[in-house]
A = this chain, B = another copy of it.
């Protein structure tokens, strides 16, 4: 289907939305997030719950509660989200599905694929969760189809 799984797509969009909103200390409810990133609310709830367990986002229950991200969290790389959801094989594994990627026993795509995989890793590790806050607030970037 897509490049990332639906779960991962929702997670990336949601975390970026929460990041932008919490840049000025605001907490956001699951309903609002789901609305703004165009995802099923309850399903997103589960996803955010997991990311919260991993410490990638924070949450508080009750009135005035909601999801938010601590200042330090805004500096974490997107790779943390992708790895939390897709696992490490997505970013390290052999493109042709061999049990592990190796120089000694390479699959046919190894040489080209490892280059692309490396670039993907670089992108996801250099890009931080909070990096797009201003542009998201300005409305220059889109999160909802």
Chain A residues packing against B (C-beta within 8 Å): 1-4, 6, 9-10, 12-13, 16, 78, 86-87, 89-90, 93, 95-99, 105-110, 112-113, 115-117, 119-120, 123, 127, 131-132, 135-136, 141-145
Contacts and interface: CB of A to CB of B under 8 A. Distances in A.
A2 to B, nearest CB: 6
Contact of A96 (B12, B110, B115): B12
A96 to B, nearest CB: 5
The copy count of this chain in the complex is 2
A90 B106 CA distance: 24
B1 A87 contact: yes
Given A119-B119, A123-B113, A10 B106 contact: no
A109 B124 CA distance: 9
Contacts of A86: 1
Given A9-B97, A109-B123, A109-B127, 17 more contacts: A1-B90, A2-B95, A3-B90, A3-B95, A6-B97, A9-B96, A13-B96, A16-B108, A98-B142, A98-B144, A98-B145, A107-B141, A107-B143, A108-B132, A108-B135, A108-B141, A112-B123
